[in-house]
Structure 1
Amino acid sequence: MGSRVRRGAAGIGALTAIAVAVAAAAGAPGAEPGRASGAGAARASAGAPALTLPAPTGRYPVGTTALHLTDRHRSDPWVAGQRHRELMVSVRYPATRDAGRFPRAPQMTRAEAVGFDGLNTFADHVPAGKVAWGATLTHAHQGAPVARPAGRRLPVVLYSPGAGDPRALGSTLCDELASRGYAVVTVDHTYEAPAVQFPDGRVAHSVMRAELAKAQRTGRITELLEKVSAVRVADTRFVLDTLALTGRDAVLPPALRGALDLTAVGMFGQSAGGFTAAQTMHDDRRIRAAVNMDGVMGYTQRDDDPSHPSTVGRDGVDRPLLLMGMAGDDHHSVASWDAVWRHSAARGTWLRDLTLRGGRHASFTDAEALVPQIARQLGLSRKDVTEMIGTARPERAVAAERAYVTAFFDRWLRGRDRGNLLDGPSARHPEVRFVP
């Protein structure tokens, strides 16, 4: 979810989620002091009921496949001596009607769930070992046949998660876009995410605790934030390069080869993932439109601090950008958003700034659907729930996010206008405020 520091109080921010997510971690990778870890965490949560995610609303069932990608031109930036950067990504896509014959993909593998249990940013409210994170199923069917609407290639949307989060925590929105005819590519940023499992069983645990401690000791927090952003952008651009490979070098399964339209690429993300989407669009002309969901776009630990701007902050962008913020976050209150807004507007860029009334930072992740279920299971207070996902009705928040993100990509990747939803306030979604 990427917790951040906002305006001098405990709040939410993009890359400084690292500090909140891993500062307390100690002992074994992916564990916190005094908390269940490894097999112990898995056993402790084994009896907990499975959580469920909202079903997508598009016309297509959803298929998915996981890809293990290796960048042989880049050594790993976080682990010395590791010659190549390895990533796990998932591709979601519209599937044929018989997709139900194929098993539904878990939100996380067992090993990834154990890692998330130890380092997730619900930790202040949800004790480790109490939630069966590995039991949640997505609505995507593994290996289901690909549907190509009217024989056309599928526009592509990339997804980057919040700092310290797994790619799996955006499953609700990713499944939704796939059900509406998009190929959605989700990226785990290895050694930043709590745990990333590779096909051979290896698990790469987060190293952010050690990186943060070193940065604090040497007074180089800004440099750490810059490095995290640079690694994320490099990961994303490598994924785009790899999707385009053909012939013997192709990484996509045969059914998806030639099915993706890499001339129609958008990107979105939450928290640091939103910053990654905007920064990647700034750096790479292949990204035609981007959505930043509550992510600070500068190398700072305060929302209102304009120091240490990113290049997207200094230059703005010249392609469509949608900002979606929790209550209190907009281009008037978040310094880095103001910088991007001013410089982009000066270039005549299409911009929108939407606030989710009553929303919190995690409202733009699967937490919006999962936290109420966790609260009922564990007897959490209303205050606990509000601190995690705010006061917006979860089903209304999810519906609004689905509607506006889909409308944005429909307009800019497909040339379709979804009922003029992006042109002003809608009675269908009173939870969404257009920020002038």
Structure 2
Amino acid sequence: MRQLLAVAAGLVVLAASACSAPTPPRADAGPPLTPTGPATLPTPTGTHPVGTTVLHLTDTSRPDPWDLDADARQLKVTLWYPAKRSDGQRAPYMTAKESELLLKGSRIVSAPYDTLSRTRTNAVKDADPAGRGFPLVVLSPGFTKPVSTLTSLAEDLAGRGYVVAGIDHTHESHATTLSDGRVAECLACDSDTDPGFGARVVQGRAADVSFVLDRLPSEWDGSGLIDGGRIAMVGQSIGGAAAVAAMVKDSRVRAGIDMDGTTYARIPKSGFARPFMFIGAPQHVPGGRDTSWDRDWKLLTGWKRWLVLSGSEHHSFTDLPLLAGALGIRPSHRALSGARSAELTRAYVAAFLDQHLKSRQQPLLKGPSPRYPEVTFCPATCGTP
């Protein structure tokens, strides 16, 4: 439960499970690079133009778990979806204030604080939706990170024919802009060393997910795009643990993916039969530093996969490697490039969703692929680090 901002061999590792002080740079890390200018996210690989819009929802049935002065839970939900046209104003990646608070909270001082607000995205802001009956994918980010750090994945899924609902879990990120323009900061960061903190976070996120699923049909004009019988959840870090918690709590979530997250939600001893996939860095090999996947693998009784990507690190399943140049961060020579990390993440997440929400069998999920030699199928062919 320790957030790490370690610049080791020039690589920033943002472990989004807590928000304590970062590890200082090593002496041999080398000087920061000169920022390259605004980053551009990779083009979605699907055939649909992509639109995006933001909803602000208020759950009056429960108080905010982190703000004791708030008697209702406010959530920001970003939607990505198939759109009618590809021309129009590109959506902002985040606001300048959100960028500033995220970089300050992450101790990144190598680039101007508004750098991430100038990241170039592919989705058209408030574009008219197109089509009907698309599966829905809920996205949940790592602790302290906004859901915008999963934009590359979200845009790609929308281009492939999914509606994506990314949830910013208020006060669990360095910056979440609310409906009145106020920016909520990370109040949960004050509690991240408390006993049971991880379990508390994932149970709260599961409640957020159920509320969003309840309200989307009435709150979004484009909800006719969604097939409510085909819903999955994908999360990174503690967002991946939240996918487990949401699936245990809400039967509407038919399938789930945990991207490099220690699992804090407990699975019933009787087992859990809905499709699930772990995909993560080498620390998650059987018998590795994180043993939570070993524990939960035995309780997954349905279709399941456990994938480990050589050269990946905790943040490899987010946009952060794609943003390294813009932030003046020196990549590690051992790490996957941002482009390759994004390609691998997009390919395996989409394959899982296509198989379990669209009933399209995916050879990619049957075993090792020469196209993606970095991917190992566990536990049979994995060893300890």
TM range, smaller chain:
0.7 to 0.9
Tell me: CA distance 1:257–1:13, structure 2 relative to 1, closer, same or farther (3 Å).
closer
1:99 aligns with 2:79: no
Does residue 189 in structure 1 map to residue 177 in structure 2? Answer: no
**Structure 2 counterpart of 1:222:** 195
* TM-score when normalising by structure 2: 0.87
For 1:238, the equivalent position in structure 2 comes to 211
* 1:13-59 CA-partner distances (Å, limit 9, x unpaired): 977433357x99xxxxxxxxxxxxxxxxxxxxxx9822211111111
- 2:105 aligned partner: 119
Q: Please name the residue that 1:303 is paired with.
A: none
Q: Deviations over 1:293-341 (max 9, x none)?
A: 000003xxxxxxxxxxx32275642111111011231344232111110
Match of 1:386 among 307, 326, 332: 332
CA distance in 2, matches of 1:252, 1:130: 33
Asked whether the equivalents of residues 55 and 220 of structure 2 are also in contact (C-alpha less than 8 Å), the reply is yes
C-alpha separation in 1, matches of 2:141 and 2:49: 23
Partner of 1:175: 155
Q: Which shows bigger deviation, 310-319 or 226-235? A: 310-319
Q: 1:404 aligns with which of 314, 331, 348?
A: 348
Note the C-alpha offset of 1:128. 6.3
Distance in 2 (CA, whole Å) between partners of 1:176 and 1:282 is: 27
Alignment partners' CA distance in 2, 1:2 and 1:313: 27
Correspondent of 1:341 among 297, 303, 313: 297
CA distance, structure 2, for counterparts of residue 353 and residue 372 of structure 1: 31
SS at match of 1:138: coil
Shift in Å, 1:187: 0.3
- Native 8 Å contact 2:274 2:303 kept in 1: yes
CA deviations 1:192-249 (Å, max 9, x no partner) are 111111232111111134334xx5xxxxx223222222211111111111113xxxxx
Partner of 2:250: 284
1:140-159 C-alpha deviation (Å, 9 max, x unpaired): 111112121xxx41100000
- SS at structure 1 position matched to 2:373: coil
Unaligned stretches of 5+ in structure 1? 6-10, 25-46, 216-220, 245-249, 299-309
Aligned to 1:40: none
Q: Which residue of 2 aligns with 1:28?
A: none
TM-score, L = length of structure 1: 0.77
Out of 237, 252, 273, the residue aligned to residue 220 of structure 2 is: 252
The size of the alignment, in residue pairs, is 362
Residue in 2 that maps onto 1:206: 186
1:364/1:313 Cα in 2 relative to 1: closer, same or farther (>3 Å)?
A: farther
Label 1:357 to 1:296 Cα distance change in 2 as closer, same or farther (>3 A): same
Residue of structure 2 aligned with 1:426, choices 369, 373, 376: 369
Relative to structure 1, the CA distance from residue 282 to residue 358 in structure 2 (aligned partners, 3 Å threshold; closer, same or farther) is same
Q: Which amino acid aligns with 1:77?
A: P
- Percent identity over the alignment is 36
Partner of 2:239: 273
| Separation of aligned partners in 2, 1:276 and 1:316 | 17
Please tell me whether the aligned partners of residues 327 and 359 of structure 1 are also in contact (alpha carbons under 8 angstroms): yes
Tell me the CA shift for residue 288 of structure 1.
Answer: 0.7
Rounded to whole Å, the distance in 2 between the matches of 1:277 and 1:14 is 18
Which residue is equivalent to 1:58?
A: 46
Q: Which residue identity does 1:251 align to in structure 2? A: E
Name the structure 1 match of 2:9: none
Give, as a single letter, the amino acid of the residue that structure 1 aligns with 2:347.
A
Q: Is the 8 A contact 1:15 1:271 kept in 2?
A: yes
Taking only aligned residues, the RMSD between alpha carbons, in angstroms, comes to 2.6
What corresponds to 1:264 in structure 2?
Answer: 230
CA distance in structure 1 between the aligned counterparts of 2:284 and 2:43, rounded to whole angstroms? 29
Distance 2:4 2:276 in 1: 22
Aligned to 2:283: 328
Alpha carbons 2:244, 2:256 under 8 Å: kept: yes
Q: Which has the higher helix share?
A: 1
Residue of 417, 421, 424 corresponding to 2:361? 417
| Deviation, structure 1 residue 188 | 0.3
One-letter code aligned to 2:138: L
Q: What is the deviation of 1:373? A: 4.2
Label 1:328 to 1:82 Cα distance change in 2 as closer, same or farther (>3 A).
closer
Query: Structure 2: which 5+ runs fail to align?
Result: 6-11, 25-34, 381-385
TM-aligned CA distance change 1:76 to 1:131, over 3 Å: closer
The separation in 2 between residues aligned to 1:399 and 1:409, in whole angstroms, is: 16
Counterpart amino acid of residue 361 in structure 1: H
Partner in structure 2 of residue 318 of structure 1: 273
For the 8 Å contact 1:64–1:92, the answer to whether it is kept is yes
- The 3-state SS of whatever aligns with 2:356 is helix
Q: CA separation of 1:366/1:90 partners in 2, compared to 1, >3 Å: closer, same or farther?
A: same
Name the structure 2 match of 1:49. 37
Say if 1:283 and 1:2 are closer, same or farther in 2 by CA, change over 3 A.
Answer: farther
Pick closer, same or farther for the CA change 1:269–1:314 going to 2, 3 Å. same
